[in-house]
Structure formats: C-alpha cells, structure tokens
Chains A and B, each alone.
Chain A
Amino acid sequence: DQQVKQNSPSLSVQEGRISILNCDYTNSMFDYFLWYKKYPAEGPTFLISISSIKDKNEDGRFTVFLNKSAKHLSLHIVPSQPGDSAVYFCAASGGSYDKVIFGPGTSLSVIP
C-alpha cells in the first residue's frame, strides 16, 4: 500500500513559468513532509519541508503548500529554470528523527 503518492510521473514546463508538483498521502499520522530533488548520478538533495501544523512554507523560489484535510501537498517553483530539471520526490515522516517514506517521484523538465 503506497502511503505517499505522486500521480504525475513527468511534467514539462517552459523556463520562467511556474512548476507545480503534487503529492497525496494516506497516513494521517505523518507529522512533516519533505521535498527532494535528485539527479541521476547523485543522492537526493533536500529542498524544503513543512510541518503538519503549517499550511505554507517558502524558501526562495520554492514554496510548499499543505492541505491536511485533503491529505495533499504541492511544491511550487517560480520561476522555473533549466537547472531545475530533475526527479522530485515527495516524502513524509511520523516525526523528527523518524524514518521517511518516499513517493514514486515526478520527473520535471524545464524547457529553455
């Protein structure tokens, strides 16, 4: 049973426009959520996280929105840049220092 879902395996966006990556989860006990970016030959790079007590967290071009009632979160990248092209993983955890469960990932292509 997949607890973290990313229903779009891929997404293409024009440079300068907004990229919106979506994620759904099933476990209401998750306490915080994370987004990672991964290039093929590297380990995942942490981008941004959000606690379950918040509905928005912003860091530069990256904003994560959380809708707890819908068990849905999204990552917004504005403006999108070609260097953002990578696989983005949504992940969730039951608490700080707890294990993290990953979604299947969304491959983002930003077209110059």
Chain B
Amino acid sequence: SAVISQKPSRDICQRGTSLTIQCQVDSQVTMMFWYRQQPGQSLTLIATANQGSEATYESGFVIDKFPISRPNLTFSTLTVSNMSPEDSSIYLCSVTGLETQYFGPGTRLLVL
C-alpha cells in the first residue's frame, strides 16, 4: 500500500487568490491523480499527473485554472487559481496500486 500526505489539510481563502496543495507519497509512483469532491457530490477526477510530462486534464478542467507540477516520482502540487466560492471543495491526491487506488487525507478548501 502507499501512504499519502497532503498539505495543507484545510484552508480558508479569499476569492481571487490562489492556493497550492502539496501531495507527498512514501514510494515512487508513475501516475498521480488529483480529484475534487464538492459538497454533497462524488469524487471527480481533475487531472492525471505523470512525471516528466504535462498533466492530462479531464473535460471541464483546464491548466490555467488548475496548474499541476510533478517534479519527481514522489511529489506533486495542484494549484487552484483565481479562486471563487464555487471552488470550495475537498481536493484529494491519489496513486494507483494493483487493482486499487490509494487516496490522501484530502485538503478541505473554503473560499469566501
């Protein structure tokens, strides 16, 4: 199994600002995923982050709004840019294993 940590665990931000969320994994992994869970909703995949290449974004998500870095095989960041109250969500980092996927504890973001 993989142990995943995220920073910050929660934050309250003002609209128009940006927040960078960090994800650290205790082992080297090729693919990392970023998900969002809006209040009362399911988990929605934002993008897939591969080391050494640009992230692949899902429909409805764009790099300008959610830039991602993947500098090495154990670390990734997701930035939520120019935030609005609609960005208030839990943001989760994830990595795959054999026929499973492990999740970090999430970053709870509230945008005022």
Contacts and interface: CB of A to CB of B under 8 A. Distances in A.
Do A and B form a real pair? yes
Contact of B101 (A41, A46, A51, A103): A46
A103 B42 CA distance: 7
A104 B99 contact: no
Interface string B43-75: 111001000000000000000000000000000
A43 B99 contact: no
A32 B99 contact: yes
Interface string B1-43: 0001000000000000000000000000011010000000111
Interface residues of B, number: 23
B106 A97 contact: no
A99 B45 contact: yes
Contacts of A103: 42
A102 B105 contact: no
- The A interface, classified by DSSP as helix, strand, loop or mixed, is strand
Contacts of B33: 99-100
Range, interface on chain A: 20 to 34
Contacts of B43: 44, 89, 102
A105 B42 contact: yes
A43 B104 contact: yes
B96 interface: yes
Interface string B73-112: 0000000000000000000101010111111111010000
A89 B30 CA distance: 25
A51 B98 CA distance: 11
Interface of B: 4, 30-31, 33, 41-45, 48, 92, 94, 96, 98-106, 108
Listed from nearest, the 4 A-B pairs whose CB atoms lie closest are A43-B103, A102-B43, A97-B96, A104-B42
8 contacts: A41-B108, A43-B105, A93-B101, A96-B96, A97-B31, A97-B96, A100-B96, A102-B44
